Amino acid sequence: MMRILLFIATNIAVMIVISILFNLLGLGNYLNAQGTGIDLKALLMMSAVIGMSGSVISLAMSKTMAKSSMGVMVIEQPQNQTEKWLYDIVARQSQQAGIDMPEVGIFQAGMPNAFATGMSRDSSLVAVSTGLLQSMTPDEVEAVVGHEISHVANGDMVTMALMQGVLNTFVYFFATIIGHVVDRALSGNDERSGVGMGYYIVQMIAQIALGFLASILVCWFSRRREFRADAGGANLAGRQKMIGALRALQRSHDEQELPGQFAAFGINGGGVQKLFMTHPPLEERIAALQNTR
């Protein structure tokens, strides 16, 4: 909760600074001269509501969505030795990491994969695939679990959702300004009220273009958090176990990507350019662990 409050406070401060800066640069006067009639403060507030609401709602529903979309079977009472072993590993590592015991789940998937999600550090879900349990050694599975527990302990799900919300805010804000300015230019600055079709077309195109740029920042931050989660997994399970888990993933081919925020340990990219990869190349992740003293 404190992380959310601090993030919201920071965003409000950023919006205030931007509003002051725009006034100092005379952007408000320029927009008024163009006849757009935009109230920058009101637009900032509306953009924040539009940009943040989707991310916050998505975060709040993340566990429910994960269980439904991935078919996660939550372990309430372990039914066999494998489930008991997995449950005990999560319990021990969550205690080491200083977080409440997450829900533990298993989902059917042939490829080795795992993810963590949830609204907060103390209300999370850690799930692993059947393919991971079948293809990896106990030490490697332990390291994967440590990686996911580290995501939870680091508050990565909350941070990523809020970061996306902030970027959505500014994408909508600037796209709206661009749409109004271009629309007025196309209309020859006539005195008609309201906006024309040009506004809607340009605003939509601007949102796509700015969203494309914003995704680069999201992917960059996601790659940083993967390195940090690898280091956390190494601390919880052991560095060699973490390296072994990453090497086991290297031995797998044609990995399937988990949808959206659930791709917490899986491999992304392939032929995709690195700028738009949410996970660093496995070689870089292994090298980072090997270079850790």
Find the catalytic residue in 148, 191, 226, 284: 148
Nearest CA to 101 out of 79, 81, 125 is that of: 125
Q: Is 257 a catalytic residue?
A: no
β-strands 73-74, 114-120 pairing? unpaired
List, by residue number, the catalytic residues.
148
